Amino acid sequence: MHDVFPASSHLHRKPASSAVPMRGIVDITSAARQHPDFARHERVLMVTEPSSGLDAIVAIHDTTLGPALGGCRIAAYESPGEALADVLRLSRAVTCKAAVAGLALGGGKAVVRGRPGFRPAEALFRAFGRALESLGGRYITGEDVGSTAREMDWIEAETRHVIGTTRLGGTPSSTTAAGVLAGMRAAVAHRLGTDRLAGATVTVQGLGGVGMVLCELLAAEGARLIVADIDPARCEEARRRLKARIVDPAEIHRIPADVFSPCALGGVLNDGTVAALRCAVVAGAANNQLRHPEIAETLRRSDILYAPDYVINAGGLIAAFLSLKGYRPGDAAVLARVREIGSTLTGIVRRAEAKDQSPAAVADLLAEERIAARHAARGATVERRTGT
Ligand code: NAD
């Protein structure tokens, strides 16, 4: 197991309660192997604690490059199967995201199942924190849809294997938005021949933590904004502060634009929506935008440049990784690293064109190459040590 927190780390401190193995953790890796999205996960765990209502799945996809880090999503899934599919897809995406961003991290994710409108209490997060403590740092959690720094603080009362806490600088949403902007700029430069977003029309779906900050950054550059959110208050805020035009959430992908930026939930690029797109570039923050992998090829054939989601939404993960080394999300070193997302995307797009492949396929390949290179380097080290 990796030593996630070396002695010099500012995180090296005792959790509030002692680490006691938790009874409610069941290893469901063997059963999950049958799932079409299994993708060779290292471990899949069911975590329950009845008195607090905790009902979660933790998926640890690949720890070749480092400990599995990934947010904790709280959502009202219709079935356990739906929750499993989501967590498996999300954790694999973090493995790819970390590898492509060049971070010494692996991929993992947790989903907490709730009912619609469910607002879990402190006891649930404390129970989840105790479960993470008993995993010994193999999985590090953080914020995701449905949770904030407050919930991470509750988890931190039980374990140090958590990021995004108030103490570590809170939500990485603004850093994620900065990275999406860098990726969008690179995609526009490639497709439209200018890296200036002034005058470009950008449709933004979802005005949450990332989408709203992205809109602020785009408005500051002089982009024309057309936005949608299921929350009318957020739309109103964007209209009032950023002079954004508001459209129906069900229609936003149909609006002619230079860039369509999905910043709500996943699966938005599917067989139905892609045919209706009227944009040159898709570049947004949402995880798992492609309903299925073949959609990337459909977009390529439609002459739409798709900036792979996990390549350009890595800003939050980069900030999280650097927070483990003592940096705060707004530090210049963090932002400089996040801006490199632009050159990473350009490299992927050029390689994709040279190989006649989609950028999404090339990004996956790049991640696999980096993981394979680490395996090979380890093999070479073992050979040197053993003299074989
Ligand atoms: P959020 O929950 O703060 O915001 C999501 C927004 O989307 C909300 O305002 C919600 O009302 C809106 N929304 C939901 N369904 C919608 C629909 N059908 N049409 C239009 N709007 C809709 O989430 P966030 O932190 O801004 O993250 C947005 C996306 O980016 C998520 O997919 C998340 O997984 C991904 N992401 C976030 C980060 C981060 O740092 N927060 C990092 C990487 C990826």
Per-residue pLDDT of the chain (388 residues; tens, 9 = 90+): 333 222 223 333 344 444 445 679 999 999 999 999 999 999 999 999 999 999 999 999 999 999 999 999 999 999 999 999 999 999 999 999 999 999 999 999 999 998 777 788 999 999 999 999 999 999 999 998 888 999 999 999 999 999 999 998 888 899 999 999 999 999 999 999 998 999 999 999 999 999 999 999 999 999 999 999 999 999 999 999 999 999 999 999 999 999 999 999 889 999 999 999 999 999 999 999 999 999 999 999 999 999 999 999 999 999 999 998 999 888 999 999 999 999 999 999 999 999 999 999 999 999 999 999 998 988 766 555 444 3
Of 97, 109, 325, 355, which is the active-site residue? Answer: 109
The CATH number for 300's domain is 3.40.50.720
Phi, psi of 55 (to 5 degrees): -145, 95
First to last CA, the chain: 24
Yes or no: say if 246 and 239 are a contact pair by the CB < 8 Å rule: yes
> Residue holding tokens 């947790």?
110
Would you state the pLDDT for residue 5? 26
Answer yes or no: is the C-beta of 238 below 6 A from any ligand 1 atom: no
Q: Are residues 134 and 188 in the same domain?
A: no
Give the 3-state DSSP-derived string for the chain, with helices as H, strands as E and coil as C: CCCCCCCCCCCCCCCCCCCCCCCCEEECHHHHCCCCCCCCCCEEEEEEECCCCEEEEEEEEECCCCCEECCEEEECCCCHHHHHHHHHHHHHHHHHHHHHCCCCCEEEEEEEECCCCCCCCHHHHHHHHHHHHHCCCCEEECCCCCCCHHHHHHHHCCCCCECCCCCCCCCCHHHHHHHHHHHHHHHHHHHHCCCCCCCCEEEEECCCHHHHHHHHHHHHHCCEEEEECCCHHHHHHHHHHHCCEECCCCCHHHCCCCEEEECCCCCCECHHHHCCCCCCEECCCCCCCECCCHHHHHHHHCCCEECCHHHHCCHHHHHHHHHCCCCCCCCHHHHHHHHCHHHHHHHHHHHHHHHCCCHHHHHHHHHHHHHHHHHHHHHHHHHHHHCC
Residues 6+ apart with CB under 8 A from 101: 311, 314, 317, 318, 341, 344
Q: 228 CA to middle of ligand 1, Å?
A: 12
| 119 lies in some domain | yes
Report pTM.
0.90
Q: What is the pLDDT of residue 16?
A: 41
Asked if residue 210 is part of any domain, the answer here is yes
Ligand 1 pocket residue status of 261, Cβ below 6 Å: no
- Provide the pLDDT for residue 115: 78
- Total Cβ atoms within 10 A of residue 200: 22
Q: Residue with the nearest Cα to atom 14 of ligand 1?
A: 264
Ligand 1: does its nearest atom lie under 6 Å from the Cβ of 145?
yes
Same domain for 149 and 181?
no
pLDDT score recorded for residue 387? 44
Give the integer Cα–Cα distance in Å for 288 and 64.
Answer: 22
Q: Are 335 and 178 in contact (CB under 8 A)?
A: yes
CB hemisphere CA count around 51 (13 angstroms): 4
The reply to whether 167 falls in a domain is: no
Structure confidence at residue 19 (pLDDT): 46
Residue 312's closest CA among 221, 204, 189, 178?
A: 178
pLDDT at 21: 52
Query: From atom 32 of ligand 1, which residue's Cα is the shortest distance away?
Result: 286
206 lies in the same domain as 124: no
Distance 51 CA to ligand 1 centre (A): 30
Whose CA is closest to 281, among 298, 264, 299, 263?
A: 299
Residues 236 and 129 in one domain: no
**CB-based contacts of 354: which residues, under 8 Å, 6+ apart?**
none
Angle at 377 between CA 375 and CA 378, to 5 degrees: 65
CB 172 less than 6 A from any atom of ligand 1: yes
Q: Is residue 195 part of a domain?
A: yes
Q: Which of 226, 230, 273 to mutate to test the pocket of ligand 1 (most atoms within 8 A of CB)?
A: 230
Ligand 1 site, residue 316, Cβ cutoff 6 A: yes
Which atom belonging to ligand 1 lies closest to the Cα atom of 284? 30
Say yes or no: CB of residue 209 within 6 Å of ligand 1. yes
Res 146: pLDDT: 84
67 and 117 belong to one structural domain: yes
Give yes or no: residues 285 and 241 share one domain.
Answer: yes
Kindly give the distance from the C-alpha atom of residue 206 to the centroid of ligand 1, in angstroms, as a whole number: 6
* Tally of residues, the chain: 388
Active site residue 109: yes
Same domain, 186 and 119: no
Overall domain count for the chain: 2
For residues 250 and 305, membership in a common domain is answered with yes
Does the residue 9 lie in any domain?
no
d(CA 192, CA 223) in angstroms, rounded, equals 14
How far does the centroid of ligand 1 lie from the alpha carbon of residue 204, in Å?
11
* Containing structural domain, residue 72: 25-93+104-156
Is 384 a member of any domain?
Answer: no
Distance CA 89, CA 301 (A): 25
Same domain, 74 and 199: no
| 163 within some domain | no
Distance CA 325, CA 338 (A): 15
- Residue 77 lies inside a defined structural domain of this protein: yes
234: CA distance to ligand 1 center in Å?
12
Taking the centre of ligand 1 as the mean of its atom positions, its distance from the CA of residue 141, in whole angstroms, is 18
Best mutation site among 69, 204, 210 for ligand 1 pocket (most ligand atoms within 8 Å of CB): 210
Same domain as 338, residue 212: yes
Q: Is the domain of 141 the same as that of 238?
A: no
Which residues are 25's β-sheet partners? 47
CATH value at residue 74: 3.40.50.10860
Say whether both 214 and 359 belong to one domain. Answer: yes
CB of 204 within 6 A of ligand 1: the answer is no
Q: Which pLDDT does position 388 carry in this prediction?
A: 39
